[in-house]
Amino acid sequence: MVTAGDPPADIGILFSPARADGGMSDTIAVIPGDGIGREVIPAAIDVLEALDVEFEFVEGEAGDEVLESRGEALPEETYELAADADATLFGAAGETAADVILPLREAVGSFANIRPARAYPGVDSLRPETDLVFVRENTEGVYSGIEHEIADGVTTLTRVITDDASRKIAEYGFEYAEANSYDDVTVAHKANVMRTTDGQFLESVGRVAEAGGHEYDEALMDALAMHLLLRPEEYGVVICPNLAGDVLSDLAAGLVGGLGLLPSANVGEDNALFEPVHGSAPDIAGEGIANPAATVLSAAMLLEHLGYGDAAVRVRAAVEAVLEDGPRTPDLGGDASTNDVTAAIVDRL
C-alpha cells in the first residue's frame, strides 16, 4: 500500500468547469427537512450570509411532517426547486429519508457522492491521522430501489451495476485524487462474493485506470473496514460502489469524532446538492445543541462548487479554529449550543 501524500489544507472538489467563475447572484435551494436539519441549516445560512457573496435563498419543504400534512414526503415543487437552483443545501429527513434524498439526488443529476472524513485539531478523535475522501457511486447498486415480495415471507433485492456508471465514478475519483494531491487511491469491492456485479465494477475501473495511467489498489470492503480502523494513514481517496461508500464513510466518522463533522456533496454534471452526513437525530432535535460543523463544511463545499474558492477556504478555516479552540457542542465534550458555535464561526470570519 502506498502512503497517501499530505493534501492541501483546503481540500477541493472537482465540479463542472461551467461553474468555475461563480455569479453575481446564485440561487440556493434550502431544504431543512426534519429534526436537527431545522437547526443546522439556519446555522449554515448565517455563515454564508456573513460572507461578501450574494445569494438568493429559496426554501422548500420535505420530510416526515410534510408527508403527514400533504401526503407526500417530497412535493413536486421542492423537487423542481432543487433541479432549477444553482445548488441545494439539504438538512436531514427522518423516516422518509429514502423518499426524500434519493429523488433530490436525481433532481440535481448526481452521479457521485463525495464524503471527506478528516480529523481536526482540538477534537478528541480515535485516529487523529485520518484524512480520507470517499468517492461513492450515487445512482445504482442496491439503492436502485428494485425490491419485490415474490411470495409470502420471501423478498428480493436487485443490485444493478453498469459499465457506464462505474467508469464515470472511476474517472471522477482518479481526477479528484490527482487534483487534490492524494497519492493513494483504493477501490473497495466485494467481488469475491458478488462476482458478476462487483466484477463488472472492477473491470470498468481497471479500464479507466489503464487509459489514464492511474495507479490504485483494490481492497475487499470488509477487510478495508478493519484496515481503516488500524491504519487510516495508508489511505487517501477510496472509490466505492454505492452501499460500500455509505457504510465505510460512516465508519470513518467514528475515527474523527463522529458524524457531526462529516460534510458531503452530491455531484452532477452542472448541479449539486450538499448535506451533512448525519441524520435528523430525533433524540436531540429541538434542544438547540446540534453540532453545525458538518453542515457549515457542506456549505463550504457548496461555495467551491459555485466558484467561490477563497470564501470556501475562509469558512473551513473558521470552522477548524472553533473546533480547536471552542466553543463545542455536547457531542464534542462541550456544553455550547448550536447558536453559540455558529456565532463563534461567524466571529472568526
Active site residue 176: no
H and E: helices and strands count for the chain = 11, 12
Pairing, β 131-137 against β 263-267: unpaired
Considering the candidates 34, 246, 331, 340, report the single residue annotated as catalytic.
246
Per residue in 67-79, is it b (16+ CB within 10 Å) or e — as a string? beeeeebbbeebb
How far apart (Å, rounded) are the C-alpha atoms in residues 215 and 233? 18
Considering the candidates 10, 46, 99, 222, report the single residue annotated as catalytic.
222
How far apart (Å, rounded) are the C-alpha atoms in residues 140 and 161? 6
Active site residue 246: yes
Q: Which of 262, 37, 246 is nearest to 131 (CA)?
A: 262
Considering the candidates 120, 143, 172, 216, report the single residue annotated as catalytic.
143
Active site residue 340: no
Bridge partners, residue 87, by sequence? 28
Considering the candidates 46, 217, 250, 270, report the single residue annotated as catalytic.
250
- Sign of CA pseudo-dihedral 241, 251, 104, 186: negative
DSSP 34-54: STTHHHHHHHHHHHHHTSS--
Tell me the three cell numbers of residue 225.
473496514
- The residues near 133 (Cβ < 8 Å, ≥ 6 apart) are 11, 114, 115, 116, 117, 176, 180, 182, 236, 237, 238
Considering the candidates 79, 168, 190, 198, report the single residue annotated as catalytic.
190
The catalytic residues are 143, 190, 222, 246, 250
